[in-house]
Amino acid sequence: MAVDFEKRVDFDRLRDYRLTRARDALAASELGALLLFDVNNIRYVTSTMIGEWARDKMCRYALLPAGGEPVNWDFGSAAKHHAMFAPWLAPGNSRAGMLGLRGSVAPDAGLFESAVRELKGLLTDLGLADQPIGVDVVEPPMLFEMQRQGLRVVDGQQIMLDARQIKSEDEIMLLSTAAAMVDGVYFDIAEALRPGVRENELVALANKRLYEMGSDDVEAINAVSGERCNPHPHNFSDRIIRPGDQAFFDIIMSFNGYRTCYYRTFGVGRATPSQRDAYLKAREWIDAAIEVVKPGVATDEIARLWPAATEFGFPDEMAAFGLQFGHGLGLALHERPIISRLNSIEHPIEITEGMVFALETYCPASDGYSAARIEEELVVTADGARVITLYPAQELPVANPF
């Protein structure tokens, strides 16, 4: 990632950009501080992460006060580690913290009370305790204790999503590198995709290759084949793949925290006219959307290019949500913009330069069980969309033809 003979990712610049974006978004609000429990927001503001195991534990939190330096509370010895190896945090601002591990230590142990007392003390010292405090996600006992001690809690997630939606050159390079890793894995899948292999074996193959290439989290891999394609189950199984199956995959993983969401569809050995027709329609829908992406376009203009739910077998847009779909990519899998007929028609937002998002389409085949799924990741430039997912997908690829 770093060499002396080429300009690549500049992590100091990345850290400065992210903290500045968060500070500017906070300054533009009426809040006095942000209290963050979402590990993606903590990473964005403090550039600290202790592993994916901590993602759902609610055991780490960070405070970004208006006009002040971020303070990070971490899991035991991780706080000392960050004090030693994360010099961008001010001295004393990497602290040990413990709230209860989602209720495993009951609230009556007093950990929430002492944490809020420390938090309120910091805010009081900064003259911010009387101002609203934005929180992204929170355990109910923490929320109740903050309110009991007189802090006014409001939604802070919107501010952080505003901050994160425009990506820097370093973020775009990390997102592109992550996509390049998946490019390579799809060539491995295409070689291994043959009758007799199971969906879970292909998931194992992809996990192994991604971790070998440097992924820090393989969040999920969908592997869907044969009759499982329609309706889309969004998972994988131990199904044995058979000759003539249609199969699609989604690889969701991260590199230095920056995520992919990257579908590809294959025929196994051969493809029927019905399968090819479904693929052609899915390709047409995604290409039409990519064509209109540019700064100033609203998300409803993209969503209107896709078929209504009733046109491909669903009663309404809620039931079909996520099939004709767009979503921002960054430290999280679903950032802004979220594009679909469910929300974008009535509540569009404007596409701006520097956004990075994925567009994905789905088309069931006329045979009643096959389906095609395609996804491309885009960087929005001044001239339009630049596609960063490069495994060939203009036509239905057939793996190991016979």
11-15, 101-105, 128-132, 249-253: range with lowest mean pLDDT: 101-105
User: What phi and psi, each to the nearest 5 degrees, are found at residue 192?
Assistant: -90, -10
Residue 356, domain CATH: 3.90.230.10
The range of the structural domain enclosing residue 297 comes to: 169-399
Categorize the per-residue pLDDT at 236 as very low, low, confident or very high, splitting at 50, 70 and 90.
very high
The answer on pLDDT for 33 being more than 80 is: yes
Domain for residue 338, yes or no? Answer: yes
One domain for residues 182 and 219: yes
| pLDDT of res. 42 | 98
Last residue of a domain, one of 113, 138, 164: 164
Give how many domains the chain has, as a whole number: 2
The answer on pLDDT for 1 being more than 90 is: no
Mean pLDDT of 350-373: 98
Domain for residue 4, yes or no? Answer: no
Nearest one of 234, 219, 269, 253 to 377, comparing CA atoms? 253
Helix (H) or strand (E) holding 80: helix 78-85
One domain for residues 158 and 187: no
Domain for residue 6, yes or no? Answer: no
DSSP secondary structure string for all residues of 152-212 = -EEE-HHHHHHHHTSPPHHHHHHHHHHHHHHHHHHHHHHHH--TT-BHHHHHHHHHHHHHH
| pLDDT of res. 277 | 98
pLDDT tens across 256-302, in order?
A: 999 999 999 999 999 999 999 999 999 999 999 999 999 999 999 99
What is the average pLDDT score of the chain?
Answer: 97
| pLDDT of res. 125 | 97
Last residue of a domain, one of 111, 146, 164: 164
Helix (H) or strand (E) holding 384: strand 384-387
One domain for residues 63 and 147: yes
One domain for residues 134 and 244: no
Which tokens go with 337? 């913009």
One domain for residues 318 and 179: yes
Domain for residue 262, yes or no? Answer: yes
Domain for residue 327, yes or no? Answer: yes
Categorize the per-residue pLDDT at 3 as very low, low, confident or very high, splitting at 50, 70 and 90.
confident
Mean pLDDT of 101-129: 96
Domain for residue 364, yes or no? Answer: yes
Which residues, in sequence order, are bridge partners of residue 36?
62
C-alpha–C-alpha distance, residues 346 and 164, integer Å: 23
Domain for residue 5, yes or no? Answer: no
Sheet holding 325-328, edge to edge: 335-339, 325-328, 356-364, 371-381, 384-387
One domain for residues 124 and 196: no
Which tokens go with 48? 């600290």
One domain for residues 247 and 356: yes
One domain for residues 128 and 246: no
One domain for residues 67 and 39: yes
For tokens 């060499």, name the residue.
3
pLDDT tens across 81-90, in order?
A: 999 999 999 9
One domain for residues 282 and 136: no
One domain for residues 47 and 78: yes
pTM of the model: 0.96
Nearest one of 98, 22, 102 to 66, comparing CA atoms? 22
DSSP secondary structure string for all residues of 231-288 = S--SS---PBP-TT-EEEEEEEEEETTEE--EEEEEEES---HHHHHHHHHHHHHHHH
- CB neighbour burial string for 10-27, b if at least 16 within 10 angstroms, e if fewer: eeeebbebbbebbbebbe
Mean pLDDT of 177-204: 98
Q: How many CB atoms lie within 10 A of CB 382?
A: 8
One domain for residues 179 and 216: yes
Domain for residue 2, yes or no? Answer: no
Last residue of a domain, one of 164, 193, 221: 164
| pLDDT of res. 2 | 79
Residue 31, domain CATH: 3.40.350.10
